[in-house]
Structure 1
Amino acid sequence: MAERSILAYFNSPDQAEDALSKLKSLRIIESSIDRIDGYPGDGIDHIDNPITSDFPGLGYLTLGGDFSDRDASILAAASVSASGMSSGGTENRVTGRDILLTVVLQEEDYEQAMQAVRDAGALL
């Protein structure tokens, strides 16, 4: 039996959970719901004093990025979110479709699953 996968983007985890619940009657092999971000890493777990601490750059402090490449860190620091001059959402979080629903299912259920996630408001 062949498998197909769906990557569907949502505005909130609740929307993705709702879509996944609609797919429970289908033959799902694997599924996950994740928050995606434009920067690597899980963020910082404590506040560093920028005057007395040793930190790798502005992107680390303000975006919580864990950059393995210095060039990527510098580029991220040029973001309006890093400077504090953003007109983004609450707590400077991404306000778009940053929730990813990934579903792997049997090929026979693919079209029905696609319709279900579309009905739930997904961007495919």
Structure 2
Amino acid sequence: MKERNIFAFFHTMDKAEAAANELKKRGFATVQVDRFSPLPGGGKDTDLDAEIHGILRRQANSLTTSTLGLPPVNNDLRVLATAHPDASGMADGSPFYHSEDICVTVITNEERYDEAYEILERYGAHF
């Protein structure tokens, strides 16, 4: 049996999880929802409140601290974070308020590929 995979991207966790639940109800066994981020704190739980609490009261020693509220991180991560459009306030004109940082991964056989693709599309996935 030849397997195929689909990586579908969403703006919101609600839509991604709804699509994943629909796929599971239809019998797709391998379905996974992940959030990814180039910034520290990525992953499914992105609440950095505990780490950035008090950002306005402490001295901002970098662009990423003052604009993104990132806690002190290593220099490699800081360079990546500084390159993010939210750090500088610059935008590319994209109408999206944030990137599609939620991925639904589906592994299916060739015969059911189109069905899975259509389900994801119905929930607003981008490919």
Which string of whole-angstrom CA distances, capped at 9 and with x for unpartnered residues, describes residues 41-88 of structure 1? 44473336644x9x8x543563537754x25523533545235x467x
Partner of 1:29: 29
- Aligned identity (percent) is 29
| Distance (whole Å) between structure 2 residues aligned to residue 78 and residue 109 of structure 1 | 40
Say whether 1:64 aligns with 2:60. no
Say whether 1:110 aligns with 2:116. no
Partner of 1:39: 39
**Can you give the 5+ residue segments of structure 1 that lack an aligned partner in the other structure?**
88-93
When normalised by structure 1's length, the TM-score is 0.64
Q: CA offset at residue 123 of structure 1?
A: 0.3
8 Å contact kept, 1:11–1:98: yes
Q: CA offset at residue 10 of structure 1?
A: 1.2
Q: Tell me the number of residue pairs that the alignment of Structure 1 and Structure 2 aligns.
A: 113
Q: CA offset at residue 122 of structure 1?
A: 0.7
Q: CA offset at residue 38 of structure 1?
A: 3.1
**Can you give the 5+ residue segments of structure 2 that lack an aligned partner in the other structure?**
43-47, 92-96
Considering only aligned residues, what root-mean-square deviation do their CA atoms show, in Å? 3.3
When normalised by structure 2's length, the TM-score is 0.62
